[in-house]
Amino acid sequence: MEFKELRTKTVKDLNNLLSQHREKFRSLRFSVTAKQLKNIREFREGRKFVARILTVLKENTGKENDSILNKE
C-alpha cells in the first residue's frame, strides 16, 4: 500500500491496519528468532509499514489539534 493511499484512510481504518500489521510483525519477529523465516526483507518491510501508518496517524492528530486551536 502506498503512502498516498494511507493518507486517504480514516483514523479508524488506520488503527485497524496498525493492529493487523503489528500482529503480523510480531509473528515475523518470532519467525526470525526461530530461524524459520528465509526472507528477512519481509521483516524490514513490516517494520517500515508500521512506521508509515504511525506517521500518518500523527499527521492526522496534528491536524485535529490545529483545527481545535484555531477555533478558539
**Per-residue pLDDT tens over the stretch 1-59:** 788 898 899 899 999 999 999 999 898 888 887 888 778 788 889 899 999 999 999 99
Q: Which amino acid makes up residue 56? A: V
pLDDT at 70: 56
Task: With beta carbons less than 8 A apart as the criterion, state whether 46 and 25 touch.
Answer: yes
CA–CA dist 62, 26 (Å, integer):
28
For the entire predicted model, the pTM comes to 0.76
Q: In 3-state terms, what secondary structure has residue 72? A: coil
Task: Please tell me the total count of domains within the chain.
Answer: 1
What CATH number is attached to the domain comprising 23? 1.10.287
Please list, in sequence order, all residues whose beta carbon lies within 8 angstroms of the beta carbon of residue 28, skipping any fewer than 6 positions away: 37, 42, 43, 46
Range of the structural domain that residue 7 is part of = 3-71
In this structure, what C-alpha cell is assigned to residue 5?
A: 493511499
pLDDT digits (tens, 9 = 90+) for 58-69: 998 877 655 555
